[in-house]
Amino acid sequence: MLPLVNELIDFVIVSIALLAIGIYGLATKRNAIRMLFAIEMIVNAANLNLVAFARFIPNSQGQTLTLFSIAIAAAEVAVGLALIIVAYRMYKNIDIADFRSLKG
Amino acid sequence: MADTVFLALSVLTIGSAIAALEIRSLIYGSIALMVTLSAVAGFFLLADAPFVAMFQISVYVGSIAVLILFTVMLVRRELIFSKIEDPRRRYAGVGLMIIVMVGLGIIIIDSGIKTITTDSPPVDFKKIGEDFLTYYSPALVVMALILASAVIGALVLARREDVTTGQRTD
């Protein structure tokens, strides 16, 4: 096994950058599939943080939690894509500004 | 200080994340998202978590990205290439991104996280397997049920209502 040369702060900075890009995508985009991309990026930033902290505080629980998180994200994407397909079938569009039949 | 592999992986991650959001075609965007997820798996390898890295590749790159790709191909052609956004929301998004980046960066750098180093060996992945089957086994069962219910829910949601039963003769 190679010696660990990267520090915790490097992982955390990459994670912050990924989180910020994800928030930018969620705030800016109106395409539903692109918003799903942004959500995936935020989830991955959280996972990266968990694994990095679990390495530097030697502990296996961080990796276990990451495995659960990845599985839950898979379920979330499946349901989210099904919702997008239903909305596309109803409105013939994937622009979220068109999904307004629940608007009062 | 970070080494060369780490720097290359971070450039790849950030660049492909921006490309996934900003590239014009949704198909190329989802391929860029695939690159982002693979690069995050590379970070997991650098953090001595090979089990999580393999799980990330098999679940994210193998199933989620392919699922997104198929969904993108289901929508109409002009929607794949359309790029609808208001310029005001764009400025607001860039401002929010800079606020989050600078604010969290200042907090993290001030928090004394730089002094954390470790000399201990990495966690053995056999330990994770043991944990899954002993301490976390109820959570594993619940997670399996959640996955099954999510798949059934997705099938029920995406079912076509307008196809009446009885048309199929087989």
Residue-level pLDDT at B76:
79
Q: How confident is the model at residue B163 (pLDDT cuts 50, 70, 90)?
A: low
Say if CB B33 and CB A37 are below 8 A apart.
Answer: yes
Q: Which residue has the higher pLDDT, B102 or B125?
A: B102
pLDDT profile of chain A (104 residues), mean per 10: 71 93 90 91 94 87 91 92 88 82 74
B43-75 residue pLDDT tens = 999 888 899 999 999 998 998 888 888 888 888
Q: Which chain A residue shows the shortest CA-CA distance from B20?
A: A37
**C-alpha neighbours within 13 Å on the C-beta side of residue A84:** 25
What pLDDT shows up at residue A93?
82
Confidence of residue B12 (pLDDT cuts 50, 70, 90): very high
Residues 6+ positions from B120 with CB-CB distance below 8 Å: A58
Whether residues A7 and B114 touch (CB distance < 8 A) is answered with yes
**B1-83: which CATH architecture?**
Up-down Bundle (1.20)
Average model confidence (pLDDT) across chain B: 86
A 35-74 near B (Cβ less than 8 A): 36-38, 40-41, 44, 47-48, 51-52, 54-61, 63-64, 66-68, 70-74
More confident residue, B104 or B122: B104
**Can you list the domains of chain A with their CATH numbers?**
8-91 (1.10.287.3510)
Q: Residue ranges of the domains in chain B? A: 1-83, 90-114, 123-160
The pLDDT score that the predictor gives to residue A1 is 47
- SS3 readout for B80-145: HHCCCCCHHHHHHHHHHHHHHHHHHHHHHHHCCHHHCCCCCCCCCHHHHHHHHHCCCHHHHHHHHH
